[in-house]
Amino acid sequence: MARRPPGHLHQACRLGRRPLRGQARRAAPDPHHLLLILGAGRRHNARMAKTKSLAPTVASRRQLRILQELVNLPTAPFVERYVIAYIRAFVAARPSLRMAIDRFGNLLVTYSPARKSSAPRRAKSSGRPILFAAHMDHPGFAATRMIDARRVEAEFRGWVSTPYFAGEKIQFFDNGRWIPATIERVLNEQPATAGARRATRSANTFRNERPPRGVIARVARPVAPGSPGMWALPDARLRGHQLHARVCDDLAGLAAVLCMLDEICRRRIPTLAYAFFTRAEEVGFAGALAAVEAKTVPRKAVVVAVECSKAIAGVQFGDGPVLRVGDKASVFTPAATAYCQVVAEALTERDASFRFQRKLMDGGTCESTAYCHHGYDATGICLPLGNYHNMDAARGRIATEYVDLRDYLNLVKWFVALAQSPATLPYDGRHPGLSRRLDDLLRANRPKLLKTANGRG
């Protein structure tokens, strides 16, 4: 196990492999094995044989490997450094990508094909580029101080319902290893200032209650201040078609964005596309709001916020990623939502294995609400998520989040299609094709309306 925080891709990939005390050492899921489960393995399972399988490909193996590596990383609001290191290494390995970091630590990655004589030139288009936005954090802890040799005080950042905390086991990542801990005391404290109280009331419009301020936990050894903490859950593992992990929201969505970038780099697709990775979304869109104020987000871009969103009634695992019409707080830009749907419908015609869903996902809020409020054309696409924010409501306990791998692989396909869509389907701020359909309806019915204006048809 590395003793230093990871500074490059392969070190970052090794994070989280050490089991907690009392846990059996568990091998990380092999991407090839995941594909056997999804594809050829169906021969050995009659129930699985009835479902539509995914053929193993080199690309899908890469995409599952990236997913596995990311969801095993430690992260929490304001302590996303291991995810940032992974993205830095990913970008550095691909000449067609360049990355800018704003003063708040948000990452803007721009794709532009390498300029070589044999490379296709980027298509000129009146369409606007797509910006895929995902956040790098997950509800979690940050160590603040050691009270004594065996007790640490830690802030909790994000939202998890208060009853899930008492006596729960957690872990901190420090100096290249996980340090197990057990919550001894939950710290609940009212905001001290009028401004803090107003911010709390505002945040509560997006959730049902205010979470604890922090905890005091008994640890096996001292923990350095600033170390990220997470629930004491195992590394990513398979259960049927589902991948269970300490964190899916939003590292699984972020993984799909990186896979899209990897695919268009490999194919040298002549387009312009952005990926935007934000910090501290779970405390109230902190990184996104700061980036909008700092003008980090290009105004010309159509924003697609990428999430893992709480699965609600009417959404099925395995039926594809969800075009998110809105969230708990707002409805997104209709034209941008329609644009994504048109691209998905065209992809369905070309690829019989591609599936998607459409739904107003009001189990939580996402950054699209912030982007729309500030005048951006924005919508959302998400993976249906089980055990939202690690809360297993049926059992009333902390558990791994989970997503369906079929949905994840289709999400990557959708993103690739969207990234190259401006060259063939320019976005102009209007509902694609709607004007023509409405004109056709009027043209078809206007003569009869005039003829029967007296109501005697």
The answer to whether residues 172 and 219 touch, using CB atoms and an 8 Å cutoff, is yes
Rounded to 10 degrees, what is the CA torsion of 61, 402, 414, 51? 80
pTM, 2 dp: 0.83
Q: How confident is the model at residue 99, as a pLDDT?
A: 98
Strand 97-101 to strand 169-174: parallel, antiparallel, or no bridges (unpaired)? unpaired
Widest CA span in the chain: 89
d(CA 146, CA 224): 8
- DSSP type of residue 6: -
d(CA 255, CA 271): 20
Q: Which of 111, 456, 123, 100 is nearest to 257 (CA)?
A: 111
Distances (CA, A) of 282 to 76, 88, 117, 259, 329: 9, 22, 45, 23, 15
Q: How confident is the model at residue 412, as a pLDDT?
A: 98
Q: How confident is the model at residue 59, as a pLDDT?
A: 87
Helical H segments across 271-404, by residue range? 286-293, 334-350, 367-373
Q: How confident is the model at residue 113, as a pLDDT?
A: 83
The answer to whether residues 426 and 126 touch, using CB atoms and an 8 Å cutoff, is yes
Q: Which of 394, 378, 372 is nearest to 337 (CA)?
A: 378
Collapsed DSSP state (helix, strand, coil) of residue 319:
coil
Q: How confident is the model at residue 242, as a pLDDT?
A: 96
Amino acid at 387: N
Q: How confident is the model at residue 210, as a pLDDT?
A: 80
Q: How confident is the model at residue 455, as a pLDDT?
A: 84
Query: The domain 140-231 is classified under which CATH number: 3.30.460, 2.40.30, 1.10.3470, 3.40.50?
Result: 2.40.30
CB neighbours (10 Å) of residue 90? 20
Q: Which of 263, 245, 253 is nearest to 304 (CA)?
A: 253
The answer to whether residues 305 and 379 touch, using CB atoms and an 8 Å cutoff, is yes
Q: How many helices (H) and strands (E) does the chain have?
A: 12, 19
Q: How confident is the model at residue 23, as a pLDDT?
A: 42
Q: How confident is the model at residue 454, as a pLDDT?
A: 87
Collapsed DSSP state (helix, strand, coil) of residue 7:
coil
Q: How confident is the model at residue 199, as a pLDDT?
A: 56
The answer to whether residues 307 and 249 touch, using CB atoms and an 8 Å cutoff, is yes
| CATH code for the part of the protein at 9-138+234-423 | 3.40.630.10
Q: Which of 376, 302, 341 is nearest to 127 (CA)?
A: 302
Q: What is the SS3 assignment for 4-19?
A: CCCCCHHHHHCCCCCC
2 token code pair: 């590395």
What are the structural domain ranges in the chain? 9-138+234-423, 140-231
Amino acid at 270: P
CB neighbours (10 Å) of residue 349? 8
The answer to whether residues 134 and 250 touch, using CB atoms and an 8 Å cutoff, is yes
Q: Report residue 324: phi and psi, to 5°.
A: -90, 105
Per-residue pLDDT of the chain (457 residues; tens, 9 = 90+): 333 433 333 444 444 444 433 343 344 444 444 444 444 333 333 333 333 445 568 888 999 999 999 999 999 999 999 999 999 999 999 999 999 999 999 999 999 886 553 444 444 555 789 999 999 999 999 999 999 999 999 999 999 999 999 999 999 999 999 999 999 999 996 655 666 555 555 444 445 568 899 999 999 999 999 999 999 999 999 898 999 999 999 999 999 999 999 999 999 999 999 999 999 999 999 999 999 999 999 999 999 999 999 999 999 999 999 999 999 999 999 999 999 999 999 999 999 999 999 999 998 889 999 999 999 999 999 999 999 999 999 999 999 999 999 999 999 999 999 999 987 787 777 777 777 888 899 999 999 999 999 888 7
Rounded to 10 degrees, what is the CA torsion of 146, 151, 152, 156? -160
Residues paired with residue 145 on neighbouring β-strands, in sequence order: 153
